[in-house]
Each structure stands twice: as structure tokens, then as C-alpha cells.
Structure 1
């Protein structure tokens, strides 16, 4: 099967399907945590791409970010320079813009036609084509475009570009190589700009860990001998996985954990599945627990 590459940009999602990764019937991962480790597991770190906007956001309390630029996550407390923040967002503005799908053929069968050197194109076009060229070594070539991206353009971007709306060339030359260009569009799309706000929730890892303990920590007790053996095996080995079917003691231990409030929990009663993360204390030690059960009776 031929592989093509589609680069996700503004208003575009990139989906990846992984086949053959069978999930076990049940799994339990257990790690002892101190304050620093707990704060790290219960928060998100800032990536390099979002660091500039996060720095501006925490310094000023708010920031406005268009949808085609890296944006902070709002689903989890974020750690930044040793302090902990909750970010929230709302749509600030919405406008109709044109989007175009630009394709690049790495080995066009015919290179007769109008061409241009990459270095002579406007910056907005050079950056887009350079992004597509990055996939050349990992993409199998074939008929038609081998890589593509859907890009939303502002009016100023359209005016600056020579690629859109209708390029006057069919090929682009890069380092003695010739590549085919295709452009589809325009297609109208709503382009949104978001206003982010930041609220500091803790000034240190210790303070944030204390908040997590107060809200989520529970004591795991009243275990049967079989449940105790199972949990202590997970403590010693780091995990317990049961591939085909969850044993009775696993299901009963999981049920005792599941009844408590999880830090994160996803469940599907119709298919008998849940997966979550809990903070518990067992014999005087705090543990971060990740539990998945694919053989759940929904209760």
C-alpha cells in the first residue's frame, strides 16, 4: 500500500491509526510518589512551541491566540517555571477565510512547464513547501501529490502568496530537484481567534501536591489475602497485566479502587471498559495508580 503524507495545519486534524496493538483484559500500574513526582504526574509541562504564548499568558493574565498558532492546553493544570496554572479559553473573534489544499509531487513524470526556484518565492510559500519537503525521505512516491496540507489564509496572506489562489507555475526547483505543485481551493472556512486566561493554583510543587492529596488521596484497606498479594506484586514489579481475562481477585481489587474519585477516568459501560488514574495510600506510602479493566460489569 502506498503511503501519502498529509500535514495537519490550521483547522485540520491529523489522525493516526495503529493496528494490531491488542489491549490486555486488565492492567494495573503502581508507582510510589513523593510531592515532586505527584505534582509532575498531575500536571502538564509546556512544550517548546507553546512556551512563548504561555510566558505571555502567565505574565499578563490573558493572551489572544489565533487558531493557526500553537495554543496552550486547557484540560489539565500546567506547570511553568515552578508554578502551577489553570488555563481557560473562549472564542474572541470569528471570521470567514479561504482555505487551500497545496500538494507536492516528489517525482513528477513530466517536468515541462512553468517553474520557479523555491528561494524566489515569498516567505509564506517557502515555509509551506519546506514543511512538505520534510516528509520526502519517509514517504513512498507514486502518481499525483505525495504530500499535502490544508492551509487557512488571511486576506493579507493571500495577497502575499504566489501559490494561491492560482499559481503561475507548475513546478518548484529545490537544490537541482524538481517537484510538482497542485493547489485546490478556495474553500470558505470559519477562522477563530481565542482569548486565554490564566489562574495560578499553586506556587510550588509541594503546594500543588498538597492540593491533589487533599482532593484525591484515599487509603486502600480491607483487602483479602489474594487482593493484597496482587497489589503488592504490582508495587514490587511496577505493574500487573492479565492478557486474556481478569481474575476474580483483580476484578474485586479494581472495584475497590474504582469506587473512589479518580484523578482522571474514562469509562464505557456499554462495552464494559474503563481506564483511570488514582492516588491512594497503602501501608503508609502514597502510590499513583493507573488501572484499566476491559472486563467490567458496569457497576
Structure 2
């Protein structure tokens, strides 16, 4: 990650995540960008063991790919990097249906640990249940509240085939490291869609893709007043957080150009300044 990590990537969660934590009311953050940085800002990288990787490679090899799921895979960007090649991905919802999804609830400090259905040791659970519950049972446990303390999403019964909790609970107490936890199961109806994917190669490597991004988004920030230069140089050095006339003037200049992404009160641009390229995050 580049410096000033909390400002990178133009994250839409920035204000929510930092609300009440001294987050400045305005931000101008300019970080020097290599071709790799530029590519990472615009495209998502599909890791070899990910669902995104499997979909893109299948569509590349077969002309199209299909998938069933309860969410879009490529809602942030349609440009995906697989290994060193970049693809434009078309994601089309072709049908939808209702499915039942399950959540396993855990009470870490139950008043009564006597099982009504049955008890099982954690290491005797099927692999599918251990995978879902390992991090929850091994970590710090929220306690002290009435009822169940945490829910673990299980998905559909098909996704956890062989579970002893879904779709029918066979045990209601888990024993783990000498502790006894009570278990319940909730179910609800959710929408599941069938998606069709097609991909088009748009760049064979990082440099070629970064050049495409430059052609579309890069602009020169020049002809600045002394006060505006101070804003920009401070933004490069450590970030600028003062809502003054010079800041607003610089932001107005930036917003006159196409953003990599822009929302109501923040955005990300690619800027050239005095011979260097910068990924620039602005919040106004």
C-alpha cells in the first residue's frame, strides 16, 4: 500500500468508516503513481483461487461463462486483470429466482448449556462446518448480551452440503477448548440470479493498460497561483485538509476534467504536475 493508506483508491467507505474519528472535512491527497499504481487504481486483480478468476478464464477459453449467485462479481469495475492481461468483462443478469439461505447463530455465554437436540465437539464437525466456524470460535468472543452473540452466514444448503446445522440442525451445543456454545439456525429467502459473462482483451500488459488510462484521464495541472501551488505541494507531501479559497480553486480546476471515479462529494483523478504523475483523491 502507498502512504496515507486511509485515502487511497477513492474509497466510498471513507467518510462512513472515519465518522466521529477526527476525519478532516476536506481532503486533497496526491500520490506519485507508477504504471502499476495506475493499473491497480482502475482495474481489479483476480487472484488465481478466486471466483472472479474462474469466471474470466472460463469466458476467455469458451467464449462465454455462466454463474449463479446472490451478488454481482464486478460491481466496482468491469476491467479485470488476470495474470498480466487486462479484460473488459460484460456481466449480464439473465434470470433470477428465490432461494433459502441460512445463518448459524452462536451464543458464547449461554445460561443453559444442556443440549436440547445434541452436542458435538468442534473437531468432530464436518469440514464444511469447521471452515465456516473456525475463525469465529478461535477468536475473541463478544459476550454479555442477551441471546445469541454472533451470526455466521452459511448460504444455501447446496453451498454447505454435508453440514450438521444446515438445512436441518442436528446439534445445538458445540464444545470447543472446554467451552460450551449454544447454536441456533435462522433461514430467510433471498434472490439468486444467473449471470452470463463475456470478456474482451483490452491490454496485454500493465504498461499498455496504463497508457490507455493515461490517454483517457491524464491532464496537466499548471498555471497555478502561488497559493494554489502551496496547496498542491502540501497535498503531495502529506495531504491538504484546509477548506480555504486556494483549496476550492484547485478542486474546481481538477473537477473540470474527467475523473477515474466521482461521487457526490469525493472522487479520484489522474494528474500530471511538474513532470510527475499522481493519483489524486479529493473530498470536498
State the TM-score, normalized to the length of structure 1.
Answer: 0.74
Q: 1 CA distance for matches of 2:179 and 2:58?
A: 42
Q: 2:119 aligned with 1:115, yes or no?
A: yes
User: Which residue of structure 2 aligns with residue 133 of structure 1?
Assistant: 137
What is the aligned partner in structure 1 of residue 171 from structure 2?
169
For residue 241 of structure 1, report the CA deviation from its aligned partner. Answer: 1.9
* Partners of 2:108 and 2:143 within 8 A in 1: no
Aligned to 1:262: 259
**TM-fit CA distance, 1:165:** 4.4
Distance of aligned partners of 1:252 and 1:152 in 2 relative to their CA distance in 1, 3 Å threshold: same
Structure 2 gaps, min length 5: 1-15
Q: For residues 56 and 45 of structure 1, what CA distance do their matches in structure 2 show?
A: 16
One of 151, 159, 166 as aligned partner of 2:154: 151
CA contact (8 A) 2:95 2:195 kept: yes
Is structure 2 residue 284 aligned with structure 1 residue 287?
no
CA-to-aligned-CA distance 1:167-190 (integer Å, 9 cap, x gap)? 3433123344322111234x3333
RMSD (Å), alpha carbons: 3.1
Q: 1:160, CA displacement in angstroms? A: 4.4
Q: Which moved more, 1:209-218 or 1:144-153?
A: 144-153
Task: Give runs of ≥4 in structure 1 deviating > 6 Å.
Answer: none
Matches for 1:12-31 after TM superposition, within 5 Å: 19-31=19-31
**Structure 1 position 77, deviation (Å):** 2.1
Question: C-alpha separation between the residues in 2 aligned to 1:226 and 1:17?
Answer: 31
SS in 2 for 1:239: coil
1:43–1:77: 8 Å Cα contact kept in structure 2?
yes
Distance 1:201 1:157 in 2: 34
Per-residue CA deviations over 1:182-234 (Å, capped at 9, x if unaligned) read 1234x333322322222211111221121112111222233222212322333
Query: Which aligned pairs between 1:142-291 and structure 2 lie closer than 5 A?
Result: 142-154=145-157, 160-185=162-187, 187-235=188-236, 237-242=237-242, 246-267=243-264, 274-291=265-282
Q: Label 1:124 to 1:92 Cα distance change in 2 as closer, same or farther (>3 A).
A: farther
Aligned twin of 2:80 = 78
| Inter-partner Cα distance in structure 1 for 2:60 and 2:101 | 32
Deviation at residue 104 of structure 1 after TM alignment: 1.4
Secondary structure of 1:163's aligned partner: coil
Q: How far apart, CA to CA, are the structure 2 residues paired with 1:234 and 1:115?
A: 59
- Looking at structure 1, the residues matched to 233 and 185 of structure 2 have their Cα atoms a distance apart, in angstroms, of 60
2-structure distance, mates of 1:91, 1:249: 46
Normalised by the length of structure 2, the TM-score is 0.78
Aligned pairs, number? 265
